[in-house]
Chains A and B, each alone.
Chain A
Amino acid sequence: MEKNVLIPTDFTIESLNVVKSVLNDRPYECRYNIILLHGVQMSDSITDLLFYSKAKMLESLSNRHFDEACGVIRNKYASGINSMRVDLFNGSSQAAFDGYLLGNRIDEIYVPGRYRLRTSNKKSVNVLPYIRKCGKPVISVDWNMEVVLPEKGSLAEIFYNEATA
């Protein structure tokens, strides 16, 4: 059985907790296609649009630790992941978002519960309002956020932010 899953991300390792918990609780013989989605506002400037490249945008948003952490998760749950990629959502309307879900044949959406996704980049857009209104099953995931970790932000964080679901 294959499932297409959408998970919003803000390129922090903490936000990958959702991915971890989804994969931990996966049913037997279920393989996921995971899309980590980040909303980005398209520029109004014509020159910006002319030289717009999704790969470059992703590179500027992402960081080495996040990529490595994704790699660790991919290796850990190799049998549960069919594909896992980071994608950008450039739209600015509910219809565009519904179209995106349709185009990628998303079955389920997992969102963090208490954790607030950061919009660290100026162009970042919060996609949660679209998610709440899209009509697909939305499951929220929670974890213990009170613990102060010395390794915050580094790759080591992936090992210790236990999801409690």
Chain B
Amino acid sequence: MRKSLMNTQTKIAVMLIVAFLAIIMLFSGWVYFAIPGFLHDYYYDVLEIRAVAAGKMELDKDQRGLDDLRSVFSEKLMHEQDYFFKIEKNKDFKNEADSLGIPLSFFETALNEGGARYQDKQLFYVAVVYPSKQGNYVIVSQAQDYFEESFVAYLKKTLVAAIIIAFCVSLFIAVYYSKYIFKPLREITEKVQQISSENLHLRLDSRNSNDEMDELIHTFNDMLNRIETAFETQNNFISNASHELRTPLTAIIGEADVALSKDRTPEEYKTSIKVMLEEAEKLDAKTNALLSLAQTGFNGKIQRFERLRIDQLIWDVKNTVEKLNPKCNLHIDTSLLPEDPMKLMIKGNEQLLHLALANIIANACKYSDNQKVNVSLGASDDHVVIVVKDKGIGIPADELKYIYDPFFRASNTKNYAGYGIGLPLTRNIIKMHQGKISVSSLQGGGTTVQLTIPAWRRIDE
């Protein structure tokens, strides 16, 4: 892990340097090739003007123009030579070209287009066709551009030096930046490495800077919170489950022990066996509940989902609950029932939803001592909403977050039978239907359970 982190850091540094260098190279390359080109053109222009001037001086003896030009070009350029060749019909400039050591095409272009340019190493040649008073002439000017040579050499030196300096600076910046960026990450890694299952309560320090790193720290802390809760739940579950299963077993063993300690009358045996049977039935109920909890919690299993109307289901559940507990006072509130019954359609498994709803409604009856329990139905465009409201004992606010833990029972439920499997089971079932369950409660003021289940849509089929 450590190693890959360093790799990313180096990678970022290298990427930064490469990007820097690419930009600098592009820039200096551009300068290096653009400037000499410009100087070339400029120098040719100068040579052309000088050729014309030389023509004026030598061929036309133009005194006025001569004075003008002399004031401009008072001194000769380096290695400047001017040659004058008269243009005659059917004359080719082969001899002249050979004597100057320049290709014949140079003269041909000059004749055809009125001017030509040619460069031989450091010597620049310019040819101009000049119509003088003595006839048309080709004037060839030749010179060496010392200024450009030294300028380009200097430019090269400057650019190389600039590239080297820029490279050093970018190296420094890249290394510094990559280190700076990864510093908090390294710190987080070190901190997280310290956290193991023994000290899950440790949290990363927030830097209060509201940046991505802070967000990462928060995410880590949230995850640690969840892991810690899951760990606790797991531990609680095992101890609670073993305790719950042992209680009836202890009763059975104790009863059997007492019955076998001496000879008894058949009546006494009968009562003992009855007690044992009762306890065994309790044990059976508990294992069954555990089994269904495990089955609904397991996602790999395929449940058959079909289209069903939630109001029908609620009436079925009402019948079941009333059969189990004839004293309960159930009131089904249809005041917000949608006018279009199709809105009450959901996709779900009837047995499971029946189990879940019966659980919640029976709980509402049980913990409110058979006071009136309201079951309301409604439907928005996306969800079907079922609200079960009782005026019972409620749940203490600080215990509200544990109600989905298996075997958890709130501190005020001592007088009521039950073993804390129902709500986790219900939650599993609702989760399987992509629904949501939320419980709000006031201790002594009643409890409201709200179930939202996604509505069935024709498009889903």
Contact = CB atoms under 8 A, between A and B. Distances in A.
A159 B378 contact: yes
A78 B389 contact: no
A72 B450 CA distance: 14
B385 A68 contact: yes
B318 interface: no
A75 interface: yes
B218 interface: no
A158 interface: yes
Interface string A48-83: 000000000000000000011111111111110000
**Chain A interface, >50% SS class:** helix
Contacts of A160: 374, 376, 387, 389
Contact of B440 (A75, A78, A150, A159): A150
Nearest to B380: A71
Contact of B339 (A68, A75, A148, A150): A75
Contacts of A158: 336, 378
A148 B394 CA distance: 13
B36 interface: no
Given A68-B380, A159-B376, A160-B389, A154 B450 contact: yes
A78 B448 contact: no
A158 B337 CA distance: 12
B336 A156 contact: no
**Chain B interface, >50% SS class:** strand
A155 interface: yes
A151 interface: yes
Interface in B305-360: 333, 335-340, 343
Contacts of A72: 336, 338, 378-380, 385
Given A68-B380, A71-B381, A75-B380, A154 B337 contact: no
Interface residues of A, number: 24
Range, interface on chain B: 20 to 34
Contacts of B438: 154
Interface string A145-165: 000111110111011100000
Given A71-B381, A75-B343, A76-B336, A151 B376 contact: no
A150 B385 contact: no
B440 A154 contact: yes
Contacts of A76: 335-339, 378
Interface in B361-414: 374, 376, 378-383, 385, 387, 389, 394
Contacts of B379: 71-72, 75
Nearest to A76: B336
B283 interface: no
Nearest to B336: A76
A151 B378 contact: no
Given A75-B380, A156-B448, A159-B378, A151 B387 contact: yes
A75 B438 CA distance: 22
16 contacts: A68-B380, A68-B385, A71-B380, A71-B382, A72-B378, A75-B338, A150-B394, A150-B445, A150-B447, A151-B440, A151-B448, A155-B385, A156-B385, A156-B450, A159-B336, A159-B374
